[in-house]
Structure 1
Amino acid sequence: MVEDAKCHGSFDFIFVDADKDNYLNYHQRLIDLVRIGGVIGYDNTLWNGSLVAPPDAPLRKYVRYYRDFVLELNKALAIDPRV
């Protein structure tokens, strides 16, 4: 991960396909690196449709586990004025 302050605002596009339990941490670090008008793409933000499934829906164990992390990211993105 680039930490140098001179890189702030220097990326046009960032794609994140990593551990979903840290997506929000990645967002908080990457938002300063992408230029205004740039794009950050997050893989699996719909997470197999599980985000709209009822709480008692039968989901695979790993889908249910990561679902909350992806929901947390989506909620944070929805209220982040920089997005």
Structure 2
Amino acid sequence: MQASREGHCVIFYENGFFCTFSVNGKLQATVQTDDNIRAIQLSRDGQYLLTGGDNGVVMVWQVSDLKQLFAYPGCDAGIRAMALSYDQR
């Protein structure tokens, strides 16, 4: 689970579903992924979500509607943790 300054709450469930909720608990978006996600990270501004898992691919999502924006090529190992630098570069 991750929470943004704008009040978005992003939750990943073990069954492969991501959901975003507003600060008042209203469901905003849902998406299902085939990867076994092990790490999630919100951008500093709360607009983007990065995910990584067993397939070694880092995905970038738009938080408001969970639209997938980009997928970095997979590496030869799964992803267990991730972090963004202060300036997000």
TM-score of the two chains, using structure 2 as the length reference: 0.23
RCO comparison, higher one (Cα < 8 Å, 6+): 1
- Please tell me whether Structure 1 or Structure 2 has the larger radius of gyration of its CA atoms: 1
Of Structure 1 and Structure 2, the greater strand share is in 2
Of Structure 1 and Structure 2, the greater helix share is in 1
